[in-house]
């Protein structure tokens, strides 16, 4: 990964932060993107202080023009784009379908699904100029099963898997690999709003007996992005402590 240029959306915390740190450790030029400018800048500062190469670019992933600007920034700053990790996402409104607001549905679909289309549209254009590239899209275990109360999130994450497979079919012959990762419930800021009892219930859904760590997901993302996964494309890899095996 030395001197490869990597975009990571949602890079200011959780899985995105752990992924940015790992890629930087392995010698990549890391573009940390997030709507949270202060936390994103802290991630970049920490990477640089350890001798890594990183830059921050504030992005609202739900706006196509900002996703295009992110790709342009990466190419202008480091010369080309080699890897993109489309990680940014939100939990969104939790309600049964009949009670879910239209606005809540549209917002989560925009941030968790439309954003990946916006991202890949411009990321692939840049990678085609290189003659190669690797994209890792962050889906979820809820990209393959349902979860009551989370219709928007579940629909979006299912969509991520289908979008990933389609992109892989369209661009694998041009040496652009596209894969998806499906984390189980991971100890990230997305779970901060849950009380202890709810977290205990979530732990019980994972046969391994605990929630996952961001660093564990980052390792899978890194492998998929690397040349060690050169024959892997169009795939969906859960990292879920056995959740989907139940």
How far apart are alpha carbons 83 and 6 in whole angstroms?
5
Look-up of token digits 């892997």: 232
Whether residue 243 lies in the annotated active site: no
* Segment holding 54, helix H or strand E: strand 53-58
What are 104's strand-pairing partners?
none
Q: Which two structure tokens, joined as six digits, stand for 37?
A: 């400018």
Four-point Cα dihedral 161, 165, 130, 174, nearest 10 = 180
Rg, the chain, Cα only: 17
Exposure of 84 in the CB half-sphere (CA atoms within 13 A): 33
Closest to 84 in 3D by CA, of 132, 155, 14, 42: 132
How far apart are alpha carbons 141 and 122 in whole angstroms?
26
What are 5's strand-pairing partners?
29
Q: Characterize 80-112 residue by residue with b for buried, 16 or more Cβ atoms within 10 angstroms of its Cβ, and e for exposed.
A: bbbbbbbbbbbebbbeeeeebeeebbebbbbbb
Active-site hit among 122, 153, 237, 243 = 153
DSSP 8-state code for residue 55: E
Closest to 15 in 3D by CA, of 69, 78, 66, 86: 86
The catalytic site residues sit at 153
């Amino acid at each position: 990964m030395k001197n490869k240029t990597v975009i990571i959306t949602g890079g200011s915390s959780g899985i995105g932060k752990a992924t940015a740190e790992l890629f930087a450790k392995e010698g990549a030029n890391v573009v940390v993107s997030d709507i949270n400018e202060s936390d994103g800048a802290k991630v970049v500062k920490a990477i640089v202080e350890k001798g890594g190469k990183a830059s921050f670019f504030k992005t609202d992933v739900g706006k196509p023009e900002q996703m295009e600007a992110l790709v342009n920034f990466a190419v202008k700053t480091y010369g080309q784009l080699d890897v993109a990790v489309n990680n940014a996402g939100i939990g969104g409104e939790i309600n049964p379908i009949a009670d879910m607001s239209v606005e809540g549905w549209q917002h989560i679909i925009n941030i968790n699904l439309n954003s990946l289309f916006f991202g890949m549209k411009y990321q692939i254009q840049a990678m085609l100029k290189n003659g190669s590239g690797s994209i890792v899209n962050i889906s979820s275990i809820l990209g393959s099963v349902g979860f009551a109360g989370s219709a928007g999130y579940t629909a979006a994450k299912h969509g991520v898997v289908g979008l990933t497979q389609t992109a892989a079919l369209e661009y694998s012959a041009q040496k652009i690999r596209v894969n998806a990762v499906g984390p189980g419930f991971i100890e990230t800021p997305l779970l901060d709003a849950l009380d202890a009892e709810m977290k205990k219930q979530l732990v019980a859904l994972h046969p391994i007996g605990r929630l996952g760590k961001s660093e564990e997901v980052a390792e899978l993302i890194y492998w998929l992005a690397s040349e060690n996964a050169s024959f892997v494309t169009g795939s969906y890899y859960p990292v879920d402590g056995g959740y989907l095996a139940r």
